[in-house]
Amino acid sequence: MPRIDDTRPFVPLGLAVLTMSDTRALAEDRSGDVLTGRLAAAGHRLAGRAVVRDEVTAIRAAVQAWIDDPAVDVVITTGGTGFTGRDVTPEALEPLFTKRMDGFSAVFHALSFAKIGTSTVQSRVTAGLAGTTFVFVLPGSPGACTDAWDGILAYQLDYRYRPCNFVEIMPRLDEHLRRGV
């Protein structure tokens, strides 16, 4: 049965939050506020936060800088996952993934379907591992960010969560590089 194992210590991570928007600044970024509030309440450290325009080069550059920063363990983005012409976040970030996390999208859509029905198909939520950094690409609504954090990320980014979580495998994410494979 999934549970929090209180005999294990909490391990705080460095998380960066990036919002894609052509119209919002940091002061109006409600989705980013949801994520930063939840990660802080959980005990994690905000390692960076920014808002960039819905442009592939701007998105990719911001996330790549965080991937290259050893203080950042996880990047969470919000916005740009729809189907309009300006929604380019998956296109910007999926090429950075060394491993895709298809299960994240599946679980997110299951949670979302329970709340908003078939409208969940309008999101191209995705996730992956980029080097040794986890990257989660969320829709731009505060509700979707709440669902993703409360239903998935709060558990998978908590070392105490059993039967398994992302934190406990983090020391082994680069073992293929150490082996020369």
Q: Give the domains, in start order, of the chain with CATH numbers.
A: 9-172 (3.40.980.10)
The position carrying tokens 């969560």 is 161
97: left (phi over 0), alpha (psi -120 to 50) or beta: beta
pLDDT in tens, 107-143: 999 999 999 999 999 999 999 999 999 999 999 999 9
Of the candidates 30, 42, 29, 35, the residue with the CA atom closest to the CA atom of residue 17: 35
Edge-first strand order for the sheet with 99-100 is 45-52, 14-20, 74-78, 133-138, 126-130, 99-100
What pLDDT shows up at residue 175?
82
pLDDT average, residue stretch 157-167: 97
Q: Looking at the predicted structure, is the pLDDT value of residue 21 above 80? A: yes
pLDDT level of residue 178 (50, 70, 90 thresholds) = low
In sequence order, which residues have a C-beta less than 8 Å from that of residue 40 and are 6 or more positions away?
46
Q: Are 92 and 70 in contact (CB under 8 A)?
A: no
- Distance, in Å, from the CA atom of 14 to the CA atom of 4, rounded to the nearest integer, reads 21
d(CA 31, CA 67): 21
Q: How far is CA 129 from the centre of its chain?
A: 10
- Predicted confidence at residue 181, as pLDDT, reads 54
Say what the pLDDT of residue 77 is: 98
pLDDT value of residue 124: 98
Give pLDDT tens digits for 26-68: 999 999 999 999 999 999 999 999 999 999 999 999 999 999 9
Nearest to 56 by CA among 28, 94, 27, 83: 94
